[in-house]
Amino acid sequence: MKKRVYLGLGTNLGNKKGNLENAIKNIQEIEGIELTGISSLYATAPWGKTDQEEFLNQVIEIETDIPPLDLLKKLQEIEIKMGRERKEKWGPRNIDIDILLYGEEVMDFEELKVPHPYMRERLFVLVPLIEIRPELVFPDDGAKIGEVLAKALTIEKMEDIRKI
């Protein structure tokens, strides 16, 4: 059965817009994936490691029946194909593709945690996500995306994210 899956995409090296377009094209080429939603592009300050270029971020919605760990592997293959090098945690990257939500599932594997463990703190995930799915409810605790975004805004400011 197909699941509705949300992916967070980010880049802060090279042709940022081109990197996101290329990543989406590669994702769409995976057999068993249908692109069903795409947010606007958002420019954001770096998170975690702040002494680097600003990021361009986007969230996409797909439908797929690919099992979560297999999907993760395919997304990591795209990152590698696009030249991603993992040199430092939260460091600069030409592409980052994260599984944010996978249907109504909650999972805690060593290599994959869903919902994504940091997504509730990150405006660069929540703002594009609410744009494409304003009625979204988190599967782990039933929180509504609007409530989660309001809480995140008590920590970060909307000035920290700009719609492109």
Catalytic residue among 51, 65, 86, 96: 96
* 98 included as an active-site residue: yes
Q: Is 124 helix (H, G, I), strand (E, B) or coil?
A: helix
Catalytic residue among 65, 84, 86, 160: 84
Catalytic residue among 51, 86, 93, 140: 93
* 65 included as an active-site residue: no
Catalytic residue among 70, 98, 120, 140: 98
Compute the distance between CA of residue 12 and CA of residue 43 in angstroms, rounded to an integer: 9
| Cβ 99 vs Cβ 59: under 8 Å | no
* 86 included as an active-site residue: no
Backbone angles phi, psi at 87, to 5 degrees: -95, -35
* 96 included as an active-site residue: yes
| Cβ 58 vs Cβ 20: under 8 Å | yes
Residues catalogued as catalytic: 84, 93, 96, 98
